Amino acid sequence: MPSLLKIFLRSGPCWDSPAFLRFYLAALRNPPARLLLLALRVKFSPQVLENIRRSGLPAEEKGRLFSGAMNLFRAGGAYKTTAPFRSPLTDSAMLGKVPPGGLLAETGASDGSSSLGLLEAARGAEVMLTDLQASFPYRDTALGRVFYNTDGRYTALKTLCLYLCSGGASSPAAADGEISLLNPLVEEKFPAARLLPLDIFSGELERKADALKCANVLNLEYFTAGEIKRALQNLRRSLKEGGWLFICHNNARYKDGEAWVALQRSGEKMRLKEEANGHELLPLLRSTDFSDLTG
């Protein structure tokens, strides 16, 4: 049963207009204004994403605002924080591993904007975008629109200018619709791009990929060592024999703000083959706890 405090903290006044979102995102960069907004507990519902998509704003501005809004949402224990062209070092290393016409899939892609670099440079390879949460299903009720988080973590009601987040989970029996989380800039530049649901712990791609990218997801901040091992064991199933899994982390503490490790599937193993800039997972991947998988 969600506590009243949780409900209180997750709920608040809500104006889902792109203009207000622009003001809010700018105010977050100003410490006193940020404090005030957090104290007022100003919220945005998933409706703001659809309002941005339908607005007459230029595509680049829609894309920027959409990613800005995504940074305010969470999926499970992970933030949906993202940015366009976020991991260029990983993208170019990955593209070197994929043959023409091959399949490259990004997991935990958030709104897909971080995959713009891969999509632009793919040169004949197919790029598939996936995330635990690809959309927000909703139901329209007499009280307002009820949103469901697809990982089953919460249900929330947007009514007039209020966002009431229950903190408890329930699945819609039949949704009236869903709000796609694919960034409108990606939709505009790559009309064939789709964002598909895939849980890195249990999901499997319909076709095995030549390379998988998992950027800013498998971090010790979000997941335990045991969970990371479980994700690797599961993601292996979506790779062709000899296929590659790139795990990347963007953080100011790394040279050029980015580090990656590349593991190659070899039968039941995921062998640690290449790395750049000392990713935080390296000691773990080289430890005895992982040697049955990565050794």
Ligand X SMILES: C[S@@+](CC[C@H](N)C(=O)[O-])C[C@H]1O[C@@H](n2cnc3c(N)ncnc32)[C@H](O)[C@@H]1O
User: What does the binding site for ligand X look like in residue numbers (CB under 6 A)?
Assistant: 75-76, 78-83, 86, 107-110, 114, 131-133, 199-201, 215-217
Q: Which residues neighbour 145 within 8 Å (Cβ) at sequence distance 6 or greater?
A: 45, 47, 138, 139, 157, 158, 159
> Closest approach of Cβ 80 to ligand X, in Å?
4
Of the pair 216, 294, the CB lying nearest ligand X is at 216
Closest to 109 measured CA to CA, from 146, 72, 83, 144:
83
Of the pair 160, 252, the CB lying nearest ligand X is at 252
Cα angle vertex 260, ends 255, 264, to 5°? 155
Of the pair 78, 119, the CB lying nearest ligand X is at 78
> Closest approach of Cβ 59 to ligand X, in Å?
19
Of the pair 67, 294, the CB lying nearest ligand X is at 67
Of the pair 165, 231, the CB lying nearest ligand X is at 231
- Other beta carbons within 10 Å of 9: 12
Residue 15 C-alpha from the chain's centroid: 24
User: How many whole angstroms separate alpha carbon 224 and alpha carbon 201?
Assistant: 13
Of the pair 92, 141, the CB lying nearest ligand X is at 92
> Closest approach of Cβ 282 to ligand X, in Å?
19
> Closest approach of Cβ 81 to ligand X, in Å?
4
User: How many whole angstroms separate alpha carbon 133 and alpha carbon 181?
Assistant: 8
> Closest approach of Cβ 114 to ligand X, in Å?
3
